[in-house]
Amino acid sequence: MDSTLVPWIVAAVSLFWAVGAYNRLVRLRSEANAAFAALETELAKQVQLVHACLPPEEEQGASQFSGGSAFWGGLHGASAQLAAALAMARSRPLDPERIAALGSAQEILAMAWDRAERDDAHDLAGPRLPSDLSGELSHMVHTAQAATENFNQAVTRYNDAIQQFPAMLLAWLFGFQPGRGLRARL
């Protein structure tokens, strides 16, 4: 074999490997983004549920709650925070800071639901929350947990891929940054 042919073969193999490794990193990042889109859909349903539970007069005057201000205000504020965190994370779902903010917002909404269910007075006027809410909320939380697990697994696969040598060289060269998973609500 000609000695000038060996460097060309090495260069061609290296180029094909680099293209394949880059495509794998892009595919794994896309899978993580797609898993986040599914998670976002499930979390947005929880925000919609809060708005569906708000009495019409409370939703219109969300800034000036009357009577049940602490009751409805906590739920409304927590859902607004989750909606804002979702909007921020939507543009860069692998950004650790945005995912941390989303996790915090998710926990705050969970605490607001827990408080609302605990404080829902069963007096003569009746409960403020719909009677079938507990089952619906439980189903939404379970579905969101499954979506969170899928997202976390996709982020783990992506992070593992960008930390493997020699793919880490391509990750560094093209600016692939590690992502962060979201803690599942229990």
Q: At what angle do helices 96-119 and 133-163 cross, to 10 degrees?
A: 160
pTM of the model: 0.81
Instruction: Report pLDDT digits (tens) over 118-136.
Output: 765 554 455 566 667 777 8
Question: How many helices (H) and strands (E) are present in the chain, helices listed first?
Answer: 6, 0
Say whether domain 5-119+129-174 belongs to CATH 1.20.1440: yes
Instruction: Report pLDDT digits (tens) over 1-33.
Output: 677 898 999 999 989 998 999 999 999 999 999
CA distances to 26, 99, 137, 177 from 143, rounded to whole Å, are 27, 18, 10, 28
Contact (Cβ atoms closer than 8 angstroms) between residue 46 and residue 109? yes
